[in-house]
Amino acid sequence: METIKKYLTSRNKQERESSLLWLTAFGIQSVVELKPSADLLRIIINHIEGKYDIERTRSEVHAFYHEQHKSSHGGSGHHHRFEEADKVAVRIVDYFERGEFSLTTESFSFTHRALFHNLYHHSGQLREAAASKKEWVLGNTSILYPKHDVIKQYLNYLFSNERSIDITSLSPQHRLRHLSEFIAKLFLINAFQYANSRATFVYSMKYLMSLGYEIQNDTFFREAWYFRNAIIRACYTNMHQGIYPTTEYMEMFLGNLFFNEENELRNHRMVIRGE
């Protein structure tokens, strides 16, 4: 990984920006404990240095795994996890580099499909079953997710409301708080049966980038697990324990990522102990 990090201090702006996109993609993948293979790191150096465009990079990765499948006759679970990690990382960077973006349910579903097609069944399709997941930061309890039959209505309302707001009229502090609240609400809908966190992270970062926010450092690579826990805390209410949703931790993370702030990010400060 140091071979990628060294480009963060390059005098070439394109190399710095490209390496940040790759490290952000790796951070997003790390929330499900997926790490890039050494082979991917070797390939993407050519993209960072401008020798390959993203389509050539994608082709090289697909060609590599095509040969792997031919020689291994299916491969191991370990091999498949590298394949998912590498292919989705390429798709994330490709998605970030594309210019188009829209705040719609269709665009969000397209994001999921673009990232996970041929890797997960029903990629891009909204969840059709109940959802529950015990969270470490909540003392092994789960957020209460909405029923699957209202997901589309919730998404339509969320995106419609967001499109109606003039972000530029807000102060920088209130803008970051509003965007944190939007990300948390999107996460809470839990729109997809699989890979909801990664789709939400990618879509949300693209939204902020479309507003002119620029990734300044490798905070996402180093602290992706913190960001996920911060979103969980922003979605959780327990009146009996006096716990209410807060975007404080999300704002600290985004301040570091986009404004080079130096907020101390500590997961243990967010933990809620079970009763």
| Distance between CA atoms of residues 141 and 237, nearest Å | 11
Token code pair at residue 261: 């702030």
Token code pair at residue 84: 């998912």
| Distance between CA atoms of residues 224 and 182, nearest Å | 18
Give tens-digit pLDDT for 220-263.
Answer: 999 999 999 999 999 999 888 888 999 999 999 999 999 999 99
| Distance between CA atoms of residues 98 and 122, nearest Å | 24
Are the C-beta atoms of residues 28 and 198 closer than 8 Å to each other?
A: yes
Q: Which CATH architecture has domain 108-275?
A: Orthogonal Bundle (1.10)
Q: Is the pTM of this model over 0.75?
A: yes
pLDDT of residue 175: 96
Q: Which residues pair with 141 in a beta bridge?
A: 135
Q: Find the angle CA(208)-CA(37)-CA(86) to the nearest 5 degrees.
A: 45
pLDDT of residue 240: 86
| Domain limits, the chain | 1-98, 108-275
DSSP 147: P
Give tens-digit pLDDT for 76-111.
Answer: 555 678 999 999 999 999 999 998 899 999 999 999
**Ranges of residues in the chain whose predicted pLDDT is under 70:** 72-79, 274-275
